[in-house]
């Protein structure tokens, strides 16, 4: 890990992310409801969920800014206690502005994890831009860090662990679970 990356990770107080392709693998499933209508659903990685809860233990907030609207995202956000949930926003800068104002957290203390073009503009305006392993090449080039894990397969867990390690909280997590 470079000194620059270590410094950026150490100051993160808010982790923002896209949903499809980041918290999920990007696949959308259409499932028939009893009345014959179609319901959209998606899968979330459980290891990402526990990592988001760990961040909250140390006062590090999290949230999503997504171009798609999905009840599955709302439910997952409740489960992992996301502080900010914005859906239906392809133009993400106005939402970043709103979150910055509401949270009072400087952008230098924010991270954003993305996978596609709409995410680059946010990544360039925060202290730590992260691309998932399966992100577009252009997104990877714009990132300060590229995860080894793909979106929907532990990428958020990976960056959360890096944040917790950089801020000195990782030993307490390991101790809590009696990991030697």
**CA atoms of 18 and 12, how far apart (whole Å):** 17
Report pTM. 0.96
What does the pLDDT average to over 11-39?
A: 95
Q: What CATH number has the domain spanning 3-170?
A: 3.40.50.1000
Distance CA 143, CA 130 (A): 5
Closest CA to 109 of 91, 128, 90: 128
Residue 10 has pLDDT above 90, yes or no: yes
pLDDT tens readout for residues 76-126: 999 999 999 999 999 999 999 999 999 999 999 999 999 999 999 999 999
161 neighbors 150 (Cβ within 8 angstroms):
no
**Tell me, what's the pLDDT at 40?**
87
What tokens does 13 get?
A: 């107080």
């Amino acid at each position: 890990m470079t000194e620059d990356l270590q410094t950026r990770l150490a100051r993160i107080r808010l982790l923002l992310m896209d949903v499809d392709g980041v918290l999920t693998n990007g696949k959308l499933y259409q499932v028939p409801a009893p009345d014959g209508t179609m319901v959209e659903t998606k899968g979330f990685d459980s290891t990402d969920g526990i990592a988001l809860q760990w961040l909250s233990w140390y006062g590090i907030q999290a949230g999503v800014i997504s171009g798609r609207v999905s009840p599955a995202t709302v439910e997952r956000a409740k489960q992992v206690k996301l502080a900010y949930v914005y859906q239906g926003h392809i133009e993400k800068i106005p939402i970043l502005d709103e979150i910055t104002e509401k949270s009072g957290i400087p952008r230098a203390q924010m991270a954003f994890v993305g996978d596609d073009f709409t995410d680059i503009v946010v990544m360039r305006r925060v202290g730590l831009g992260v691309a998932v392993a399966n992100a577009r090449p252009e997104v990877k080039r714009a990132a300060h860090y590229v995860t080894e894990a793909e979106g929907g397969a532990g990428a958020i867990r990976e960056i959360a662990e890096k944040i917790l390690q950089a801020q000195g909280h990782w030993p307490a997590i390991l101790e809590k679970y009696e990991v030697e």
